[in-house]
């Protein structure tokens, strides 16, 4: 057994996290920064942080992930990292010529109290930021929140640093997609486009971390939200913030600074959340929903109705990030599956409340926990006490899946042992079909594997 030391009995832990269902803020900031075209993310801290984040994102995307680091030494930790950051900015602009450097802090630079605003101001005043280039920043102390918090903080950094107020209203909607895959961002844009809506989406990693093989390495790939487009977000009619954890703070900033009203939505995972996304887009842009969406939606409903016998009543354990888990739970309920165990390392009191509300009628006994020590070790123990028919989560779930022989669907971050997430969305009606395909595939492979020869089915 891979996790042979995990006991069935759940003991209360007050200090020890085992097999976390989260990671730290800066990686989220790095990922969000990659969603701006021409941006070089920069990690202000010890170089290990940058190395780990680049490695983790690279394993997940199998694509180049470029970023700089301030390479703190013991000296900089004592005397402050200002000179390292100033040197880094000069070097990055000279050698790598980005349009924009997006700095995030780390637990190191936060603990010693480096003031990014002051350092960036000094860099600008000292002429270390070339004409026409930009530097934005955000604080991402690793000991607060999770990787999602870091993503959210960089979204705020983008709003603070790049959005302008021209006073000329624009007939466009801001879409904050939340921490989703490039394929998801592409699909969310496709839906808006097909509805004939003008929009600005940021961050947008479509075309940044899913780049084509052309024989030429592009340090700044073609994709990403354009700085000049982001600048207009202050003139938009509305902001749709997908995922409260990842996008709400940036939406609030757009409202506070530029009077752009916002609506917080779930990431459009599954039938109901996609219904709301499509309706919210239509209502924000004051258009009616094109007939083609009835067809798109109908396909998803059709697949569910065709296959519901394999889904009905099946117990599911899921782990990952709140913005995904909430609509995923709702989708499972739409499928008549039973969300049974749910953990997320990302804190936020409203998570448990929201999950319990969703499950109140159909899965009132759901085990749910988030925040500190809401980890995969606890979820595994729950599974030992109440087995499930399906496990959905990032690659680390495969250890539990194998030990307990549970069909497993890879979903979330990081996925480091399979491909597909960069290219095939799980959002929207089409994404719902892909999720279903994966869930059914996992469940039905087990049926096939375990069926006695007499009961082995050709048609399912």
Partner 1 sequence: MSEENKLPDPSKLKEEILAKYPPKIARKRAKSMVINDPKLDQEIQSNVRTIPGIITQRGCTYAGCKGVVLGPTRDIVNLVHGPIGCSFYAWLTRRNQTDPGTDGDNFMNYCFSTDMQDDNIVFGGEKKLAQAIQEAYDIFKPKAIGVFSTCPVGLIGDDVHAVSRQMKEKLGDCNVFGFSCEGYKGVSQSAGHHIANNQLFRHVIGLDDTKPTGKYNINLLGEYNIGGDGFEIDRIFQKCGINIICTFSGNSTMDKFANSHMADLNLVMCHRSINYMAEMQETKFGIPWMKVNLIGAESTAKALRKVGEYFEDEALKARIEEVIAEEMPSVKERAAKALEKTDGKVAMLFVGGSRAHHYQELFNELGMKTVSAGYEFGHRDDYEGRKVLPTIKVDADSRNIEEIKVEADPEKFNPRSTEEKLKELDEKGLEVSDYKGMMPDMADQSLIVDDITHWETEKLIEFYKPDVFCAGIKEKYVVQKTGIPLKQLHSYDYGGPYAGFEGAKNFYADIEKILSTTIWKKIKAPWTDKAAADTCICAEFVA
Interface residue with partner 1, options 37, 42, 341, 438 (CB under 8 A): 42
Interface residue with partner 1, options 29, 30, 33, 66 (CB under 8 A): 66
Helix or strand run (H / E) with residue 370: strand 367-370
Interface residue with partner 1, options 37, 39, 72, 297 (CB under 8 A): 72
Q: Please, what is the minimum distance in Å from the beta carbon of residue 71 to partner 1?
A: 4
Closer Cβ to partner 1, 17 or 283, answer by number:
17
Is there binding between residue 87 and partner 1 (CB under 8 A)? yes
One-character DSSP codes across 35-51? TBTTEEEEEES-HHHHH
Over the window 107 to 146, marking each residue x when it contacts partner 1 by CB under 8 A and - when it does not, the resulting string is xx--xx----------------------------xxxx-x
Q: Which residue has the tokens 């030992």?
A: 384
Where does 227-269 have alpha helices with state H? 227-231, 244-258
Burial class (CB in 10 A: 0-12, 13-18, 19+), 125: exposed
Q: Please, what is the minimum distance in Å from the beta carbon of residue 122 to partner 1?
A: 15
Interface residue with partner 1, options 31, 34, 76, 200 (CB under 8 A): 76
Where does 113-181 have alpha helices with state H? 116-125, 147-162
Is there binding between residue 291 and partner 1 (CB under 8 A)? no
Is there binding between residue 368 and partner 1 (CB under 8 A)? no
Instruction: Compute the distance between CA of residue 77 and CA of residue 46 in angstroms, rounded to an integer.
Output: 9
Instruction: Compute the distance between CA of residue 424 and CA of residue 409 in angstroms, rounded to an integer.
Output: 14
Is there binding between residue 90 and partner 1 (CB under 8 A)? yes
Q: CB pairs under 8 A, 24+ apart, for 419-424? A: 419/62, 421/60, 421/181, 421/183, 422/61, 422/62, 422/63, 422/181, 422/182, 422/183, 422/209, 422/210, 423/183, 423/210, 424/183
Closer Cβ to partner 1, 62 or 198, answer by number:
62
> Which 8-37 residues touch partner 1, going by CB under 8 A?
11, 13-20, 22-27
- Encoded tokens for 363: 């899965």
Contact stretch for partner 1 (CB under 8 A) within 191-199, 208-216, 223-231, 335-343 = 208-216
Q: Please, what is the minimum distance in Å from the beta carbon of residue 88 to partner 1?
A: 3
Is there binding between residue 218 and partner 1 (CB under 8 A)? yes
């Amino acid at each position: 057994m891979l996790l042979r030391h995990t006991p069935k009995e759940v003991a209360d832990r007050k200090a020890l996290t085992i097999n976390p269902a989260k990671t730290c803020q800066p990686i989220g900031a790095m990922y969000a920064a990659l969603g701006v075209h021409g941006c070089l993310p920069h990690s202000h801290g010890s170089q290990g942080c940058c190395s780990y984040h680049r490695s983790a994102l690279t394993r997940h995307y199998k694509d180049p992930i470029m970023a700089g680091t301030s390479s703190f030494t013991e000296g900089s930790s004592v005397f402050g990292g200002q000179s390292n950051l100033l040197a880094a900015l000069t070097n990055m602009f000279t050698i790598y010529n980005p349009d924009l450097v997006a700095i995030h802090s780390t637990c190191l630079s936060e603990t010693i109290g480096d003031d990014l605003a002051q350092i960036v101001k000094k860099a600008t005043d000292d002429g270390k930021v070339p004409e026409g280039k930009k530097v934005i920043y955000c604080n991402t102390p690793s000991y607060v929140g999770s990787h999602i918090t870091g993503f959210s903080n960089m979204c705020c950094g983008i709003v603070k640093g790049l959005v302008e107020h021209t006073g000329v209203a624009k007939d466009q909607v801001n879409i904050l997609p939340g921490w989703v895959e490039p394929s998801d961002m592409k699909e969310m844009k496709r839906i808006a486009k097909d509805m004939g809506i003008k929009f600005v989406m940021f961050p947008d990693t479509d075309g940044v971390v899913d780049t084509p093989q052309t024989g030429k390495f592009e340090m700044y790939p073609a994709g990403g939200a354009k700085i000049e487009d982001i600048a207009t977000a202050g003139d938009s009619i509305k902001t749709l913030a997908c995922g409260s954890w990842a996008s709400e703070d940036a939406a609030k900033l757009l409202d506070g600074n530029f009077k752009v009203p916002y609506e917080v939505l779930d990431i459009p995972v599954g039938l109901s959340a996609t219904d709301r996304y499509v309706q919210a887009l239509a209502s924000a842009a004051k258009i009616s929903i094109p007939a083609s969406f009835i067809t798109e939606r109908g396909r998803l409903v059709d697949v569910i109705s065709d296959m519901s016998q394999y889904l009905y009543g099946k117990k599911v354990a899921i782990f990952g990030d709140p913005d995904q888990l909430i609509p995923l739970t709702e989708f499972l309920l739409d499928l008549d599956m039973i969300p049974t165990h749910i953990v997320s390392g990302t804190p936020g009191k409203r998570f448990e409340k929201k999950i319990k509300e969703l499950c109140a009628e159909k899965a009132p006994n759901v085990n749910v926990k988030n925040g500190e020590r809401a980890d995969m070790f606890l979820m595994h123990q729950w599974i030992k006490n109440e087995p499930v028919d399906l496990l959905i989560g990032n690659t680390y779930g495969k250890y539990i899946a194998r030990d307990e022989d549970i069909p497993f669907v890879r979903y979330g971050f990081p996925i480091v042992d399979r491909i597909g997430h960069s290219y095939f969305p799980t959002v929207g009606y089409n994404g719902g079909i892909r999720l279903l395909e994966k869930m059914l595939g996992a469940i039905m492979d087990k049926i096939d594997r375990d069926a006695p020869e007499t009961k082995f089915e050709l048609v399912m």
